[in-house]
């Protein structure tokens, strides 16, 4: 993988991203408006306190992080595959890793910046405090975004055409939202085994690590120990995503 080629592809993908009105509406517009708006509204009307506000923030954040990464890359790569753009990119001398890595890198950067905008806005507008360990928070946002992008790229193998890409990614969006608490206390209405299963999702790992980063007390070694389990979850999902991409990712539509 060439760092120069990777940067070129990421820059190319970034230009296309900011010219895509649909992407700007879903990945950026909804992320920022609801990521700020819902916790802000709950802070104004809810008397539950700072822990409740943090839970709402992380739940909504991770829910829309799924849209900005998993859903976005699945839709984008499916469209480019069906338009034979991916096939043409392979003839330019770029490696497969550069092509996919550039798109993953672009969306990870976008998602991390959006997370920063939402978090800083809530620090200024609500009673939400900054994380005690901001580096841990940042590392898991970046890592979680990258893993979700890998899984989204792998998911394109089961998407038959561009028109149904967004619809087919919705179940994962809902599962992530329910597991992270982005849709409210819906998890409490489900049987116990459902919570155990949803806790295995990569989005749950991001929330778990973020809660460690926001905890009022802790030490560096203690944070590392507490973050070990969510880190392991992300490593496992990353391996699954990489293997699935290598085995099933398609560079052109079967109709061609």
For 227, phi then psi, to 5°, come to: -85, -5
- The pLDDT score that the predictor gives to residue 256 is 45
- The pLDDT score that the predictor gives to residue 144 is 96
| Arithmetic mean of pLDDT, 75-97 | 90
For 128, phi then psi, to 5°, come to: -65, 130
Predicted TM-score (pTM) of the model is 0.92
Measured CA to CA, the distance from residue 38 to residue 182 in angstroms comes to: 10
**Taking 90 as the threshold, does the pLDDT of residue 145 lie above it?**
yes
| Arithmetic mean of pLDDT, 185-191 | 78
The answer to whether 230 and 209 have CB atoms below 8 angstroms apart is yes
- The pLDDT score that the predictor gives to residue 186 is 76
Three-state secondary structure call for residue 26: helix
Give the lowest-confidence range in 22-31, 147-156, 222-231: 22-31
What is the tens place of the pLDDT at every residue in 236-255? 999 999 999 999 999 988 65
Measured CA to CA, the distance from residue 240 to residue 147 in angstroms comes to: 9
**Taking 90 as the threshold, does the pLDDT of residue 210 lie above it?**
yes
Measured CA to CA, the distance from residue 156 to residue 82 in angstroms comes to: 11
**Taking 80 as the threshold, does the pLDDT of residue 49 lie above it?**
no
CB burial string 226-247: b at 16+ within 10 A, e below = bbeebbebbeebbeebeebbee
| Arithmetic mean of pLDDT, 162-188 | 87
Give the lowest-confidence range in 31-45, 48-62, 93-107, 184-198: 184-198
């Amino acid at each position: 993988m060439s760092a120069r080629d990777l940067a070129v592809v990421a820059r190319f993908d970034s230009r296309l991203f900011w010219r895509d009105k649909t992407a700007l509406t879903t990945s950026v517009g909804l992320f920022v408006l609801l990521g700020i708006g819902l916790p802000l509204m709950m802070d104004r009307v809810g008397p539950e306190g700072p822990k409740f506000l943090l839970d709402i923030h992380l739940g909504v954040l991770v829910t829309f992080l799924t849209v900005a990464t998993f859903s976005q890359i699945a839709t984008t790569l499916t469209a480019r595959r069906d338009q034979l753009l991916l096939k043409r990119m392979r003839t330019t001398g770029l490696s497969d890793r550069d092509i996919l890595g550039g798109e993953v890198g672009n969306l990870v950067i976008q998602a991390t910046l959006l997370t920063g905008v939402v978090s800083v806005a809530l620090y200024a507008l609500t009673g939400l405090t900054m994380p005690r360990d901001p580096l841990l928070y940042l590392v898991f946002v970046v890592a979680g975004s990258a893993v979700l992008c890998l899984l989204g790229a792998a998911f394109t193998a089961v998407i038959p055409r561009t028109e149904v890409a967004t619809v087919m990614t919705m179940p994962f969006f809902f599962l992530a939202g329910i597991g992270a608490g982005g849709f409210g206390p819906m998890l409490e209405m489900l049987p116990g085994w459902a919570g155990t299963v949803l806790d295995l999702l990569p989005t749950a790992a991001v929330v778990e690590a973020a809660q460690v980063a926001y905890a009022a007390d802790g030490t560096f070694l203690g944070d590392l120990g507490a973050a070990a389990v969510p880190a392991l979850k992300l490593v496992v999902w990353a391996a699954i995503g990489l293997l699935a991409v290598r085995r099933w990712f398609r560079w052109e539509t079967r109709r061609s």
